[in-house]
Copies of this chain bind each other. A is one copy, B any other.
Amino acid sequence: MSDGKLILLPNLLDETLDAFNFLPAGVGPLVGTLQGLIAESEKAGRRYLRRFLTHDQMAALPLQTLNEHSSPEQLQVLLAPLLRGETWGLISDAGLPCLADPGADLVGAARKQKVSVQAVAGPSSIVMALQLSGFSGQRFAFHGYLPREPDLLEKRIVELEKRSGMEHSSQIWIEAPYRSSKMLEFLKTKLQPSTHLCVAVQLTTPHERSASLSISEWKKISFPIEKEPAVFLIYKNQQLWVNNNFQ
């Protein structure tokens, strides 16, 4: 082990929220120990630090960026100060680094080079959506983004529906905010009437809402979604709560 450390810090699910209510109080003091911060963008990094540090402290703290365009060589540049013994933080634009986020590659590289890594708990829209769905939390799978091309998307959705039925597992994915509404309409036409679908929108914000219903029930309700972040979950089990899905 080098003495350097990478701390995986939680971020809020929406930048307008108050850190006090949604992040562990231990996060502030930890941010105070950092010698640098890695964020998806400089702007997001500064916005995060501003919650915990004074102007002078912020000015003294180096910021680096990691995003889906970062190469293996850039990962190595990010790790250099940690290999010299420094403590750096890593944040995601929203929620937890490494979940549906480029952070996992940096952690993989850090671990290969014996840099110690610490994770700090916080909000994850994927996890909260799963909790709110009422679907199985004994078996679940997350698939990131599904294909956009309609034929491929339909094939994939039918596959996931089948897998959910065979394994009694919850199947989870996300969609770009501007496509959330389209995804919902697509699911209503492509999934079987008895399959359960949960859609969780803008979690933890004042605009939070979710519905967890069978497709036949979904067809009877109105659930408008604007260009909002949403998590989609399906569970193919007609009598949801009669089964002890934790057996």
Check A138 against B100 for contact (C-beta < 8 Å). yes
The 9 A-B residue pairs whose C-beta atoms are closest, nearest first, are A108-B134, A21-B26, A121-B123, A141-B141, A108-B241, A107-B134, A109-B241, A98-B131, A138-B144
Indicate if A232 sits at the interface (CB-CB under 8 A): no
**Smallest Cβ distance from A237 to chain B, in angstroms?**
9
Chain B CB count within 10 A is highest, among A72, A98, A99, A130, for A98
Interface 9-mer from A43-51, A57-65, A111-119, A184-192: A111-119
Digitize A121-148: 1 where CB-to-B-CB distance is under 8 Å, 0 elsewhere: 1111001101111111111111110000
> For residue A200, which residue of chain B has the nearest CB?
B119
* Complex contacts, A141 vs chain B, CB 8 Å: 139-142, 169
CB distance from A97 to the nearest CB of B (A): 7
Q: Enumerate chain B residues within 8 angstroms of A204, measured Cβ to Cβ.
A: 121
Say whether B26 contacts A99, CB under 8 Å. Answer: no
Taking CB atoms, residues of chain B closer than 8 Å to A99 are 127, 130-131, 137
> Could you say which of B98, B102, B128, B144 contacts A121, with CB atoms under 8 Å apart?
B128
Is A101 an interface residue when CB atoms closer than 8 A count as contact? Answer: yes
Q: Does A34 contact B (CB under 8 A)?
A: no
Q: List 18 contacting pairs A-B, 8 Å CB cutoff, sorted by A.
A: A72-B242, A96-B131, A99-B127, A99-B137, A104-B137, A104-B138, A105-B134, A105-B243, A105-B246, A106-B241, A111-B133, A112-B241, A117-B134, A119-B131, A119-B203, A121-B121, A121-B123, A140-B141
Interface residue A157 (Cβ < 8 Å from any Cβ of B) = no
Taking A98-B130, A98-B131, A139-B142 as known contacts, 4 extra A-B pairs with beta carbons closer than 8 A to each other, sorted by chain A number, are A24-B24, A97-B131, A104-B245, A105-B241
Is A8 part of the binding interface, using a Cβ–Cβ cutoff of 8 Å? yes
**Given known contacts A104-B134, A127-B127, A68 and B247 CB-to-CB distance under 8 angstroms:** yes
**Is A240 in contact with chain B by the CB < 8 A criterion?**
yes
Which residue on chain B has the smallest CB distance to residue A122? B121
A36 close to chain B: CB less than 8 A: no
**A244 in contact (CB, < 8 A):** yes
